[in-house]
Each structure stands twice: as structure tokens, then as C-alpha cells.
Amino acid sequence: MIRNSLIVLGCVTLSFLLAGVSGFLYVNFTQPGQFAADPEVLNMDVQAIKAKYGGDPWALMERGLRLLKYVFWPAIAILVGLFAGCFARDRVTLIAVLGVLPLQVFFVAASSFSAFGFLLVALYTGLACAAALGIDRLKRMRNTAALREG
């Protein structure tokens, strides 16, 4: 019981740490992130933004949101699921769901509680569960093979 609680706490911590790392990578290494973090954008007109960033500001923001939704957030869910699968002995899917749930609640709140936001959260939770189950199955197969040999 205590072990599983600590694993859930580790998953939650990992998910928020990975969200911070993905935000850092997004802002520092992508053009939409640099556009979003630039304080001078507030004082620029659309033509100056197009000249500086090479595109429409709305298209830049949309591209950045797609990158976050379809690359960074699923990667976080998969990594948290792998963490849960590596360290949990039983109930790996429940631990993966509880580990990724606080970050997903944040995501749904940020998407204005839209139906599509709920659908993405269900998809990300499914990815976390699949990763946890996959690692758990690999652990069990390895342990079974070691018992047969020994």
C-alpha cells in the first residue's frame, strides 16, 4: 500500500517535471514557442510579426498548440506509464491512471472543458495504461523465463 502510494506520488511528480521540461524545450527550441515567449510581440503589428517570425501569428500559435497536444503531452503520458510499469508490482494501470490524472485535469481545464479536450485526456490516459501494461508484461515474462531456467 505504501509502495503503491509512493509510486503514484513519483508518477505525479514525474509528470509535472516532464511538463516543465517540455515547456522549456517548446519555448527555447521551437519557433512558435519563441513567438509566444517574446515580450516585444505585444507592441508589434502583424506585418512586423510576419517579418520577424516568417508567418501569420495565428498560424504560429496553432502550430505550437498542435505540437504540445500531439507530441509533448502523449510523450509525457507514455513516460509516466513506463515509470509506473517499471516500479509497480500490481495494479499498474490504476497507478498509471492516478499518476497521470492531475496533469490531465490541468490539461482539460486549459482546454476550456471542451469535448475534444476530454477525448484527448482519455487518449493520453490510455497511452499511459498501455505503456504501463507493456512494461509489466515484459517484467513478468522475464521473471517467468528466469524461474524456468533456474
pLDDT per residue as tens digits for the range 99-137: 999 998 888 887 778 888 889 999 999 999 999 999 999
Burial class (CB in 10 A: 0-12, 13-18, 19+), 76: buried
Query: For 31-57, what is the mean pLDDT?
Result: 85
* Lookup: cell for 108: 482539460
pLDDT over 90, % of the chain:
53
User: What is residue 56's three-state secondary structure?
Assistant: coil
Reported as a pLDDT band with limits 50, 70 and 90, residue 142 is confident
Query: For 58-73, what is the mean pLDDT?
Result: 90
Q: Which position has the higher pLDDT, 117 or 5?
A: 5
pLDDT at position 143 is: 83
- What average pLDDT does the chain have? 90
Reported as a pLDDT band with limits 50, 70 and 90, residue 150 is low
Query: For 41-60, what is the mean pLDDT?
Result: 85
How many residues comprise the chain?
Answer: 150
